[in-house]
Amino acid sequence: MSEPLYIKIKDQDNVAIAVKDIKAGTEVMDGVIAHQDIPQAHKIALCDIEKGGEIIRYGVVLGYAVSRIKKGDWINEHMLELPTPPDVDDMEFATNLVTDLPEPPVTVWEGYRNPWGGPAGTRNILGISTTVQCVTGVLNVAVERMRKELLPKYPNVDDIVPLNHAYGCGVAINAPEAKVPIRALRNLAKHPNFGGQLMVVGLGCEKFTVEMLLDEADICPENVIILQEIKGFNAMVDALMEMAEKKLAILNRRKRETLPLSELLIGMQCGGSDAFSGVTANPSAGYAADMLVKGGATVLFSEVTEVRDGVYLLGHRCVNEEVGKKLAAEMKWYDNYLDAGQVDRSANPTPGNKKGGLANIVEKAMGSIAKSGTSPIVEVLSPAEKPSKKGLIYAATPASDIVCGPCQLASGIGLQVFMTGRGTPYGLAIAPVIKVCSRNEMKEQWQDLIDINAGPVATGEADIPEIGTQLFMEIIDVASGRRKSFAEQYRLHNDLCIFNPAPIT
């Protein structure tokens, strides 16, 4: 069977995307001949489109033609005028609640149960929280020694991770939106992968105090070191080493046990997307998400600007009006946040997104939503909030990879699935990241960075349920510690970028 030349999503679409580079003069389908070279993943017009006419993909209007487009023309980002974003005030809720979800092949995994309940850990890590960037230099020196001298003595502990960040001082700590970074850091300190062992390093004069980070009952010399109270650098490192060893000894007693999927919490994110992402990688992740939800697990998906143009579709999937109203409120908050910076959601697509065939944020959003699958949305979270429900949850975050990831970590995810079309070595230190690519060429280029290849969906060699099931099993194996993703193997850890919409002073 010959490889298809194009992919058309819906019958009403008047564009299709190229599976491979298409040379000018090639008959793509009956009566449609390419007038120009069409790059892989880019769009070709399937009919004449008049100036101002609708350009439709996914059955959705991506935009309006800036000038007349002829059948067979290459359509790129310069040829579309962005439509008005959907109104969030009149959305309908709970009109598309799908309960017929695919059955998961397994319903258990191996994780670290935590004494306070909630999601279980996928890893056993000593996390060292900080109140301010000023302590990073000293802490990093100490952590290097810890890994060399202490960690080998405690084989059941996977790693020691300093939670270094840029927050803490020179910030408007009492500003209303300071609640976002403060909530994130508080929740990160008690991440499920840390097993309840608190270790905090502060300087002593910062605005973000230990009292803001920890509950009163947790503030004690066994958990907190203030560097300004210690005489000299070597004494600081010695104090950090001593506290770490006590924490490691406790964590070393932690054991994996067989747990139901209801104790697994994972996140879905995409970055470096292309026009295949919404056809192969994201729908495959959505199928895996549906399996997880069917088995009782909790799945977060995020990225406000990358759902904004399809938010009405998410509204239909909200289980009730309360959840729908929270979704609308999060969209409005972000609209105002962008407006204050004198930009809108069109600032989202990157040069790489456009090179990969994504003409604008509408097209990107339609593909991005696919990673959520079809399950009902049971809860909506503000940035870095912890979930209170199980099932599919929309966690509002920025779309920036390195900001969305820490927000999802603060919500408690023990593993993240990351879809990419263009490729990125992104990774998280606190939780493993499974990388899924959208096309065969990406897997061929990065054999040892991409864990799951969804490219065969585009070439007709596999279907979404097949790749989705493969991804589901990868999630179970990586969460259970039976496998490491490539990002985890190579320790490809991005900086901990905490979302701070409040002013910096």
pLDDT tens for 346-377 read: 999 999 999 999 999 999 999 999 999 999 99
Residue 379 burial by Cβ neighbours in a 10 Å radius (0-12, 13-18, 19+) = buried
CA distance 112 to 255: 6
Contact 185, 208 (CB under 8 A): yes
SS3 372: helix
Closest to 477 in 3D by CA, of 415, 430, 409 = 415
CA distance 425 to 434: 11
**6-81: in CATH 1.25.40.10:** no
Please check whether the two domains, 6-81 and 117-251, share a CATH topology.
no
* Phi, psi angles (nearest 5°) of residue 417: -105, 125
User: For the domain 117-251, what is the CATH code?
Assistant: 3.40.1400
Q: Helix, strand, coil shares of the chain as percentages rounded to 5?
A: 35, 20, 45
Dihedral in degrees, nearest 10, Cα atoms 353, 357, 359, 360: -30
- List the structure tokens of 265: 């919490």
Model pLDDT, residue 445: 97
Model pLDDT, residue 447: 97
| The residue to which tokens 């397994």 are assigned | 106
447's CB contacts (< 8 A; 6+ apart) are: none
CA distance 121 to 119: 7
Model pLDDT, residue 1: 52
Other CB atoms within 10 A of residue 47 CB: 13
- pLDDT tens-digit profile, the chain (505 residues): 567 899 999 999 999 999 999 999 999 998 999 999 999 999 999 999 999 999 999 999 999 999 999 999 999 999 999 999 999 999 999 999 999 999 999 999 999 999 888 899 999 999 999 999 999 999 999 999 999 999 999 999 999 999 999 999 999 999 999 999 999 999 999 999 999 999 999 999 999 999 999 999 999 999 999 999 999 999 999 999 999 999 999 999 999 999 999 999 999 999 999 999 999 999 999 999 999 999 999 999 999 999 999 999 999 999 999 999 999 999 999 999 999 999 999 999 999 999 999 999 999 999 999 999 999 999 999 999 999 999 999 999 999 999 999 999 999 999 999 999 999 999 999 999 999 999 999 999 999 999 999 999 999 999 999 999 999 999 999 999 999 999 999 999 999 999 999 999 9
Question: pTM, whole model, 2 decimals?
Answer: 0.97
24-to-5, 14, 316 alpha-carbon distances in Å? 13, 19, 42
134 alpha carbon, distance to own chain's centre: 28
CA distance 468 to 286: 7
**Residue 67 DSSP symbol:** S
Residue 8 burial by Cβ neighbours in a 10 Å radius (0-12, 13-18, 19+) = middle
Break the chain into its structural domains and give their ranges: 6-81, 117-251, 265-489
CA distance 202 to 168: 10
Type of residue at 92: E
Handedness of CA 485, 486, 491, 494 (dihedral sign): negative
Q: ∠ CA(8), CA(13), CA(18), 5° rounding?
A: 35
- List the structure tokens of 317: 């999937």
Provide the angle, in degrees to the nearest 10, between the axes of the packed helices 136-145 and 233-251: 60
